[in-house]
Amino acid sequence: MTPNTLKTALKEGIREQQEEAITHFEFLFDKHYKKIEEFDEIVEILILYAIENKSGGEIVEEVLDLICRAQGHQGIQNINFDAFAENLHLVSGNVLFKYIEILSYTYNPKYIPDILKYRSHKDPLIRQGVEDALIELRYES
């Protein structure tokens, strides 16, 4: 499956096609021994889909989980995750939790100020996600 196939499946596919594409890339990302060509492009497509569909839903959450998996698979230093930081204030619930988690897996301290804004969030799961993210980012208050 190519990045363009993934993009088409996510944008235009029915749910079954979207899930098939996600499953395909989950399988690839779980094979840690294999370097994936076009990895950066694949992750950027996933990011764009997640941002464009930030209202949530099962497919969006699966895409966000897939991004988390991708971050553990191969180097992400060339991928720009700023869109998640810029959209934190526009999402809630599980989507907000996943955005924070994804930003923490970048290990980039530039995201700490964005994440800190949610330290006193009303949802205890978000607060815990923030604390976990700050640990990942090696933040010391």
Sequence-ordered alpha helix ranges (H) in 74-123: 82-86, 93-104, 112-116
Residue 84 placed within a domain = no
Question: Looking at the structure, do residues 36 and 68 belong to the same domain, yes or no?
Answer: yes
pTM score of the predicted model: 0.92
Rounded (5°) CA angle 84-76-109 = 60
Question: Looking at the structure, do residues 100 and 31 belong to the same domain, yes or no?
Answer: no
Q: What is the pLDDT of residue 32?
A: 61
Number of domains in the chain: 2
Q: Average pLDDT by consecutive 10-residue portion of the chain (141 residues)?
A: 93 94 89 78 96 91 93 86 97 96 95 97 97 93 74
Question: Looking at the structure, do residues 121 and 71 belong to the same domain, yes or no?
Answer: no
Q: What is the pLDDT of residue 36?
A: 83
Q: What is the pLDDT of residue 34?
A: 67
Question: Looking at the structure, do residues 15 and 50 belong to the same domain, yes or no?
Answer: yes
Question: Looking at the structure, do residues 49 and 111 belong to the same domain, yes or no?
Answer: no
